[in-house]
Amino acid sequence: MVKVTVCGAAGGIGQPLSLLLKLNQNVDELALFDIVNANGVAADLSHICSPAKVTGHQPANKEDKLAITSALTNSDLVIIPAGVPRKPGMTRADLFNINASIIRDLIANVGKTCPNAAILIISNPVNATVPIAAEVLKKLGVFNPKKLFGVTTLDSVRAETFLGELINEPPKSLKGKISVIGGHSGDTIVPLINVNSTISAKSSKITPAQYKEFVHRVQFGGDEVVKAKNGAGSATLSMAYAGYRFAESVLDSVAGGQTNTSVVPETSYVYLPGLPNGEELSKKSLNGATYFSVPVILEKGEIKSFINPFDSLTITENEKQLVSVALNGLDKSIAQGTNFVKGSK
């Protein structure tokens, strides 16, 4: 029996993400939690003739803890897109004040109710919300770094799409030939084009100006959506697709025991010191950064290992420069997230 819980299920991301999860044949129960409209979304999705049983969980008032507890009880995978999205002119960091406490409180419930679940954090700023989650779980004594994932898949999805347009290749064939490492915000996002892969001939023809524009578009592609939506939020549909793509990898690894080796690993923002060889990567190549996005290999719903981009991928001097810029931004966000929990009761 596989139970998946979505927290923030009635939102712009939560609804289409829950729809995609409802279609996954490996899901037996889909629990939808939100402070508004969770029951409505659950009733709607429950009419779809796929196996997952859908349940809605909506607190009657601020004191009601039953809804979140019932949503999380026996959950194997918790996905969190709860919180506020950006409006034009805002950076992801501007969301910190509201989303930090939402994540802190939701994760405290996860730690108490389903401490063995894999946790996927979508809520921004991911660079800081993942450290918040880790600190809360550490305080509760249930932190498993192999099961805490910051969802950065949208950056990979964008990189595949934009590079595909540039070199005239189907984006689907680019998965794994481009990896996006670092964090999930502006210049902390670092796309790496694998020059040893089959796309090297085509990608080597990109001019320096085109490359610069490509990197900028991967780093700031979210702004295109925020601007086009003109106050109605940020990426929701592409994010639901991306969040589902990552969740599907986790679910496949739960169902199959081990991800099929032909499946290309997804990238995720993770706590490196808690992973095999993670401390070494952090110290040797990342100036001691503790959180970083790397391609992860999954087994039974947790990280079995990761691909060290500095050992396995050919990183150009240009890309190394991007990594060093990313590390500056990451440092601040990681400290902000960590200190937020250390300063909380």
Where do contacts with ligand NAI occur on this chain (CB under 6 A)?
A: 7-8, 10-14, 33-36, 81-86, 95, 99, 102, 106, 122-124, 126, 151, 154, 184, 233-236, 239
Active centre residues (catalytic):
184
Quote the tokens at residue 62.
Answer: 């601020």
What's the half-sphere exposure (Cβ side, CA atoms, 13 Å) at 247? Answer: 35
In the complex with ligand NAI, the residue whose CB is nearer, 52 or 108, is 108
Query: Helices (DSSP H) in the chain: which residue ranges?
Result: 14-22, 38-46, 66-72, 96-113, 126-140, 153-167, 200-203, 208-229, 237-256, 278-285, 309-312, 317-342
In the complex with ligand NAI, the residue whose CB is nearer, 92 or 146, is 92
How far apart CA 133 and CA 333 sit, in angstroms, is: 13
State the DSSP code for 59: -
Nearest to 117 by CA among 149, 151, 153: 149
In the complex with ligand NAI, the residue whose CB is nearer, 14 or 309, is 14
- As measured in angstroms, the least distance from the Cβ of 185 to ligand NAI is 9
- As measured in angstroms, the least distance from the Cβ of 56 to ligand NAI is 12
How far apart CA 336 and CA 129 sit, in angstroms, is: 9
How far apart CA 126 and CA 93 sit, in angstroms, is: 9
Q: How long is the chain?
A: 345
Partners of residue 53 on adjacent β-strands: 29
State the DSSP code for 264: P
Nearest to 283 by CA among 308, 266, 255: 308
How many angstroms separate the Cα of 326 from the Cα of each of 101, 175, 217, 225, 244?
A: 25, 22, 16, 22, 26
- As measured in angstroms, the least distance from the Cβ of 43 to ligand NAI is 16
- As measured in angstroms, the least distance from the Cβ of 25 to ligand NAI is 25
Residue 200 CA, chain-centre distance (Å), reads 28
Nearest to 118 by CA among 281, 246, 291: 246
How far apart CA 223 and CA 302 sit, in angstroms, is: 32
In the complex with ligand NAI, the residue whose CB is nearer, 242 or 289, is 242
CB-closest chain residue to ligand NAI: 11
In the complex with ligand NAI, the residue whose CB is nearer, 64 or 280, is 64
- As measured in angstroms, the least distance from the Cβ of 151 to ligand NAI is 5
In the complex with ligand NAI, the residue whose CB is nearer, 85 or 182, is 85
- As measured in angstroms, the least distance from the Cβ of 23 to ligand NAI is 19
In the complex with ligand NAI, the residue whose CB is nearer, 126 or 251, is 126
- As measured in angstroms, the least distance from the Cβ of 218 to ligand NAI is 12
